[in-house]
Copies of this chain bind each other. A is one copy, B any other.
Amino acid sequence: MSGVRELTVDLGDRSYPIYIGEGLLDEAGKLLANHGISKKSPLLIITDANVAERHLAHLETVLREGGFGVTSAVIPAGEGSKSLSQLEKLVGVALENGLDRKSAIVALGGGVVGDLAGFVAASYMRGINFVQIPTTILAHDSSVGGKVAVNHPLAKNIIGAFHQPELVLYDLSTLQTLPERDVKAGLSEVVKHGLIWDAEFVSWCDDNAEKLLALDPEALGYALYKGCSVKAAVVSRDERENDLRAILNLGHTIGHALEAVAGYGELLHGEAIAIGMVGSARLAVKLGAPEEVYGVTKRVLSRVGLPVRLPAHLDTDEIMRAMMHDKKFQEGAITFIVPVAIGKVEINKSVSTALIRDIVEQLKQEAV
């Protein structure tokens, strides 16, 4: 395990480690055992069809050799699997294979797998152990912090829980086969973590965009370590999103609405929030932040290959309506995360819907 980076998400008795390195899947048996995953009770790996093809047999073998009782369930790839009907199926698989209260669910895959498998772990028998093995760049975000959920036909991530994993195991080798579009979309949350917390890291992303796009292992390992560190720092201070944690939603107020209106799939999550972050930067400047907040935000996102213009065919009224359905809308106001400088944001609950509407219109004309 040379070159393995390790960090801790500090949550008292729910603290857990994140391991980042090449070839870590080979160490899965040892790491799970070291972190209290039971060998006496069966564990269930949940993954999707794409990931299963590349990594499932490998993980099953490693865990079985490590003495674990292993069952697997393969779900269809894509956001459509984050449903209550999929939850019901997986709980059925868990029951049929005798998973008990000491069992663990292992999520092998991207954000969809992590969110769904995490909610299975959170709700099966009112909560069993959970291990995240993210296989996308985007999942560096969703796999840290314990937010798990499925979608409702009317809203995304609306049925869920806070359920922290026992450990997160990030094998950089699994990222080498990612499609280019997913690489770029994943870097969106990496850049976001810089924008909300760490100006120096934003500058590093600006300088190292090409290496990141080329999946250079050293650059990628560092970027994921930094991204996870920011996420861990924020989550440690506010596990259940009472206040500070909301800053992680930079770009998400507009971004989620875009995903909902475009129909899940047309815009990837990372693409939608990239556009949302440009919107937040525009808003920031209107509210008095330095001009560079907009300039730098847009430049860095462009450099890592992300869209910064809102597709013109998406209806502004529909986008506004979708925003009102979001969890960030409460007690009659939208919560907006607004940069005050690069690396620093504030939570603003008094942005008028008229102003947001203007921003949405302007994002349709953004120069690219």
**What count of chain A residues pass the 8 Å CB interface test?**
41
The minimal Cβ–Cβ distance linking A265 to chain B, given in whole angstroms, is: 21
The minimal Cβ–Cβ distance linking A39 to chain B, given in whole angstroms, is: 10
CB contacts (< 8 Å) of A243 on chain B: these are none
A162–B128 CA distance with the chains assembled, in angstroms: 12
A349–B162 CA distance with the chains assembled, in angstroms: 31
Q: Which of A152-160, A165-173, A188-196, A272-280 contacts B (4 or more CB under 8 A)?
A: A152-160
- Give the interface SS of chain A, mostly helix, strand, loop or mixed: mixed
Quick one: given A88-B152, A122-B161, are A330 and B100 in contact (CB under 8 Å)?
yes
Q: Which of A90-98, A229-237, A356-364 contacts B (4 or more CB under 8 A)?
A: A90-98
Quick one: given A38-B331, A95-B152, A152-B91, are A159 and B101 in contact (CB under 8 Å)?
no
Which residues of chain A from 100 to 159 have a CB within 8 Å of any chain B CB?
100-102, 122-127, 147, 149, 152-155, 158-159
| Cβ-based interface call for A40 (8 A) | yes
A325–B331 CA distance with the chains assembled, in angstroms: 43
| Cβ-based interface call for A332 (8 A) | yes
CB contacts (< 8 Å) of A199 on chain B: these are none
Is the Cβ of A159 less than 8 Å from the Cβ of B91? yes
Nearest CB in chain B to that of A120: its residue: B159
CB contacts (< 8 Å) of A88 on chain B: these are 84, 152-153, 159
CB contacts (< 8 Å) of A91 on chain B: these are 152, 154, 158-159
Q: When the two chains form the complex, which single residue of B92, B161, B325 contacts A161, counting CB atoms closer than 8 Å? A: B161
